[in-house]
Amino acid sequence: MKFNESLSGEKKEEVEQRTALSGVPPLEVHDLTVSYHRRPVLWDIDFATPEGKLIAIVGPNGAGKSTLIKGIMGLVPLASGYVKIYGEDLERARSRVGYVPQRNSVDWDFPTSVLDVVMMGRYGRIGLFRRPRDSDRDVAMEALRQVGIVDLAKRQISQLSGGQQQRVFIARALAQDADLYLMDEPFVGVDAATEGAIIELLREMRRRGKTVIVVHHDLGTVREYFDWVLLLNLRLVAFGPLDEVFTDTLLQQTYGGRLNLLTKVAELMKEQERGRDLQ
Amino acid sequence: MDAFWIILTGTLAGASCALIGSFLVLRKMSMLGDAISHAVLPGIVIAFLLTGSRSSIPMLLGAAGFGLLTAFLVETLHRKGRLQQDASIGVTFTWLFAIGVILISRYAGMVDLDQDCVLYGEIAYITFDMVSIAGVQVPSAVLTLAGIFLLNIIFVLVGYKELKITAFDPSLAVSLGISATFWHYALMGMVSLTTVGAFWSVGAILVVAMLIAPSVTAWLLTDRLHQMLIYGVLLSLVSAVGGYYLASFLDGSIAGAMAVVSGILFAFALFFSPTHGILSRRIRMRRMMGRAERGEEDLSSVQNI
């Protein structure tokens, strides 16, 4: 009995060392409400994420998925509620959290190179008024190597394909060297090869104990890519491990009205067709 | 000697405007620069009336105050008043500029300032107001503009990284703890100072040409931000020299000619720029299509050309 206990204790320690888990939730969101022009777009969101997981935020268009991430990052004002990153306020934990905005949120005609954009991930660490150092450049090049576009380092960013643009954004987040990552729709408009490369990278990050939260639109790949799921539609519908949360009943609740409406339209069209056939 | 001073004035004004205007263009805020360049007028007049002199420090402060007020009002009307960005710009700057016009016309007899000078500048007359620096007679406008140019260079060098990231990806900047709001207002403050300097030489209307035209021309000629800034400054020099001689050839407005030359330079770059010009893009596209037809090229990146 005693022997077993100590053994399992040892094993646990080993696991903790391997993945550098700290035991504190990477992200806690408490009673978070966001409103635009007094209309709530996120209502009383409350959850805490486990460590070292790939987590999908799933919900219909306009459910507030991007807004949730922006609220967590302090990019939109919160009507109420607060956020903790590894148990600390965002201001103190900034270096531990990396944000990947939507690819189309920037102007890709901006006069700059791929390496320059990736270097921007280092700006928070470089500090005000200082210039990037060689070591920052090395980190940026290593990030480019990890996403497989090191040969594009000097390329002007307007010459990139959609998939390459997304890889640049991911590399920039890697260069930040954070522990928690929030990514807004990284799989939108990218080619299959890039999608595969990104998901491989996310798995590698998970192996190193990183926590990655991804706004995801493709219900078809959730089961394959993610460990945990957050179902969102203005309110938090459910949050938990894939098998418990990604169920037909809960999905129906999340997409509720819309799925029902579509079914009704389909039925009506069938009836019309039947009517035409009878005539 | 007059020619030298006039060209130097035009160059310093244009170069200062190009440095700061490049960031306006990259942030898609060209029209806010237009607005500020007009809305600083009441600030200048009030400083003028209070001090009774044309010394530059109070005027720069007055202008900076009204420039920041403009940026703030535009932002507030847009956010809180739910007015569209262009509408809030249109309302704000015309209102402030009109106040300036009333102030000038009301006190025109008392001060050495008139509407013509404000609207069209007085670059031809800058040598009427000379100061002595180490025994050399220098137009005071040149001194002011040299100070402003220096200030702009320092601002861009010190804040290069921050200006770049807040222009390219403000939400990433904020997520890294770099305040997009601070750099927005810092930039608007510099735009205000810079436009006042250029105000005296080319006037409120043509200052917009100096802010925007060399910057967009430079953007057409390069893929790197630091090169864009340097090209902008060089293009301002060419516009000032070309403009001066065009004006003396036509016997017309010097400021107007400088703006016309920078417009012509822009048109050249638009068609003939090796990287972004319409012609070279068309040629490249045709070559690529040719290669694709022969099955040598992957067309997946054509959309970006």
Q: How high is the pLDDT of residue A22?
A: 66
The percent of residues in chain A predicted with pLDDT above 90, rounded, is 65
Which chain A residues are Cβ-neighbours of B181 within 8 angstroms?
none
Chain A nearest C-alpha distance from B28 (Å): 10
Q: Decide which of B301 and A55 is more confident.
A: A55
A–B interface: beta-carbon pairs under 8 A: 87
For A8-29, write each residue's pLDDT tens digit: 444 444 444 444 566 789 999 9
Q: What is the pLDDT of residue A253?
A: 86
- For the cut 90, the answer to whether the pLDDT of residue A218 exceeds it is no
pLDDT at A258 over 80: no
* Residues β-bridged to residue A83: A29
Quick check: B109 pLDDT over 80? Answer: no
Distance, CA of A141 to CA of A123 (rounded, Å): 15
Collect all residues with Cβ–Cβ distance below 8 Å to A75 and sequence separation of at least 6.
B171, B174, B175
Tell me the three state secondary structure of residue B52: coil
A94 DSSP 8-state letter: G
Q: What's the confidence (pLDDT) of residue A15?
A: 43
Q: Which tokens hold the place of B195? A: 């436009």
pLDDT at A14: 42
**A136-156 average pLDDT score:** 94
Asked if A123 lies within 8 A of B173 by C-beta distance, the reply is yes
Domains and CATH numbers, chain B: 2-203 (1.10.3470.10)
pLDDT for residue B49: 84
pLDDT score for B110: 59
B130-152 pLDDT, tens digit each: 888 888 888 888 888 999 999 99
Q: What is the pLDDT of residue B88?
A: 92
Residue B111: per-residue pLDDT: 57
Residue B10 is inside which H or E element, if any?
helix B2-26
Residue range A41-59: mean pLDDT, rounded: 93
Q: What was the pLDDT predicted at B287?
A: 80
3-state secondary structure of B259: helix
pLDDT at residue A156 tops 70: yes
**CB within 8 Å of A200: residues ≥ 6 apart:** none
The two three-digit tokens of residue B268, written as one number: 């050249």
Pairwise pLDDT comparison (B206 vs B186), residue with the higher score: B186
pLDDT at site B118: 67
Closest CA to B13 of B227, B189, B275, B233: B233
Higher local confidence (pLDDT), A22 or B179: B179
B200, pLDDT greater than 50 = yes
What is the pLDDT at residue A259?
A: 55
Please report the ipTM that was assigned to this predicted complex. Answer: 0.85
**Model pLDDT, residue A6:** 41
What is the C-alpha separation between A159 and B305, in angstroms, rounded? 7
**pLDDT at residue A101 tops 80:** yes
Determine the number of helices (DSSP H) and then strands (DSSP E) in chain B.
13, 2
Q: How far is CA A72 from CA A13, A32, A78, B171, in A?
A: 31, 9, 9, 12
pLDDT band at B175 (very low <50, low <70, confident <90, very high): very high
What is the C-alpha end-to-end distance of chain B, expressed in Å? 48
Confidence class for position B171, pLDDT limits 50, 70, 90: very high
Mean pLDDT on A196-203: 94
Over residues B289-305, the pLDDT tens digits come to: 777 676 655 554 444 44
SS3 A39: strand
Taking contacts as CB-CB distances below 8 angstroms, the residues of chain A near B227 are: 111
Kind of pairing, strands B136-139 and B130-133? antiparallel
**Chain B positions touching chain A (beta carbons under 8 Å):** 26, 28, 82, 158-159, 161-162, 164-165, 167-169, 171-178, 219, 222-225, 227-228, 300-301, 304-305
Q: Is the pLDDT of residue A83 over 80?
A: yes
pLDDT score of B232 more than 90: yes
Residues of A within 8 A of B173 (CB-CB) are 123
CA-based nearest residue in chain B for residue A158: B304
**A73 closest CB neighbour out of B167, B175, B228:** B175
More confident residue, B32 or B275: B32
Contact yes or no for B204/B196 (Cβ under 8 A): no
Alpha carbons B77 and A123: distance in angstroms, whole number: 32
pLDDT at B18: 95
Cα separation of A202 and A187, whole Å? 12
The pLDDT, as a whole number, for residue B20 is 95
CB B203 within 8 A of CB B255: yes
Q: Which pLDDT score is estimated for B128?
A: 79
Sequence-ordered strand ranges (E) for B49-180: 130-133, 136-139
pLDDT reading at B40 higher than 80? yes
* CA separation for the pair B287, B82 (Å, rounded): 48
A contacts of B82 (beta carbons < 8 Å): 37
Please choose, from the candidates A267, A268, A236, the residue with its C-alpha nearest in 3D space to the C-alpha of residue A45. A236
Interface test with B, best of A112, A128, A167, A174 (most B CBs within 10 A): A112
pLDDT at A271: 65
| Residues sharing a CB contact under 8 Å with residue B263, sequence separation 6 or more, in sequence order | B209, B213
**pLDDT at residue B8, rounded to an integer:** 93
Check residue A141 and give its pLDDT: 95
Residue B304 and residue A131: Cβ atoms within 8 Å?
no
